[in-house]
Chains A and B, each alone.
Chain A
Amino acid sequence: MWTFIHKLGSPKWCYTLCGRLQPGFWAAAALLLCVGSVWALGYSPRDYQMGDSYRIIYVHVPSAILAQSIFIAMAVASAVLLVWKIKVADMAARVMAPFGAAMTFLALFSGSLWGVPTWGTWWTWDARLTSMLIQLFLYLGVIALRGAFGSADQGAKAVAVLTLVGVVNIPIIKYSVVWWNTLHQPATFTLTQPPAMVASMWMPLLVMVLGFYCFFIALTLYRLRNEILRRESRTRWVQELAD
């Protein structure tokens, strides 16, 4: 375990490892997303209450799950950076942030689109949507803070502290928003819990979620390789790679 962590700390070793893992994840992502999309759009049965509009959840749920997972992954990377001072961890955290923000935005966008046929309005202060919106601001804060620092090393540590503070706060924010929501509008029906889905409905959802995960991992590996090259561009092994 220890040697593994220390090996991960070596950018060159990490670069090679990412390169080796990458194709598998790309293939899995492509396969799962294609199968999932066809299944979800074409073959899963129509919801008797919401009709075909429910097919939005095949985008909404995976992106919402990823939006949360990515922040947690960033927090883990931040902790690794602060505790073991492993630079690759920060590079990973940096690379994940824009995709996390994009997924949060997608979850908001699809949720709001779903709101029109369901609630008849583009935006409702539903507990889930509200905390997702706040999470988007957390992502943007992390990205903005990184951009504000001239020194990459200093920015990395500052962002790590902010990410950890954010991840501690996310459950508190969620809880408070739910509390606030019940205070102001007695729960109607929530976005991602349609009454007991049948297997032919949730199977494609599972496939889509796995596909999104694989895509995220593949993209992160790919961009992590870029980031390693960029940050290590002065070293000999990177320069030899360029030839």
Chain B
Amino acid sequence: MNVALDARQLACERDDRWLFESLDLHVGDGDILRIEGANGSGKTTLLKMLTAQLSPQAGTLTWHGRPLARARDAFFRALLYIGHAPGVAAALTAEENLSWSAAMAGIKASPAEIERSLAAVGLAGFENLPAQQLSAGQQRRIALARLELMKRPLWILDEPFTAIDRDGVAWLERRIATHCEEGGAVILTTHHTFQANDRVTSVVLGVAD
């Protein structure tokens, strides 16, 4: 089993306001979990909890049965996160960005592997250009190239479909599907509707009071 992230009776209070309460989640191999909700409903906060950045005020979060806060190291080694800001330094080239990402993940990536992953997201030939000379969509693709470069079972993606074109959306959708077929799992926030809807479970965060 690659992925086993469980939440029981999760609750979140921010600035003396309850954003959500008694939330139960299970993410296992092959699952796609989609988090929906209006602005301010706590999507970002939930993602921060699921990435072990914030501890829940109530309820438990476990990774393979161990409390997430204690299993952080193992969890981070299984996690690939692409946030709202893609984490691509504008002054660095695509290649430099990816080799830094790989090092931070603790992976040795050869230039050939980086080139291959950039080619997979359609950035062949752009390896040595500073990211600031690329379009916003291309910068996001540099971030998405991490999905090819690193083999991580759990992907957590915050609005991954923004700023990329229709081909890119189709590619990413297929990539997510193959990732799940191979036994990975994906948690994402998006307004995008998937074509193959059967794998996707949705959590809708209501406006809690």
Contacts and interface: CB of A to CB of B under 8 A. Distances in A.
- Tell me, yes or no, whether A and B come into direct contact in the complex with CB atoms closer than 8 A: yes
Interface in A193-243: 231-234
B16 interface: yes
Interface string B141-170: 000000000000000000000000000000
B17 A152 contact: no
A231 B14 contact: no
If over half of A's interface residues share one DSSP class (helix, strand or loop), that class is named, otherwise mixed; here it is: loop
Interface string A82-98: 00010000000000000
A152 B16 CA distance: 9
A234 B17 contact: yes
A232 B17 CA distance: 9
Contacts of B15: 151-153
Contacts of A152: 15-16
Nearest to A230: B16
Nearest to B54: A153
Contacts, number: 12
If over half of B's interface residues share one DSSP class (helix, strand or loop), that class is named, otherwise mixed; here it is: loop
Interface string B12-25: 00111100000000
A151 B55 CA distance: 17
Contacts of B14: 151, 153
Contacts of B17: 234
Nearest to B13: A153
Interface string A146-182: 0000011100000000000000000000000000000
A151 B14 CA distance: 8
Contacts of B55: 85
A137 to B, nearest CB: 29
Nearest to B209: A234
Q: Which 6 pairs from chain A and chain B are nearest by CB?
A: A152-B15, A231-B16, A151-B15, A153-B15, A234-B16, A153-B14
12 contacts: A85-B55, A151-B14, A151-B15, A152-B15, A152-B16, A153-B14, A153-B15, A231-B16, A232-B16, A233-B16, A234-B16, A234-B17
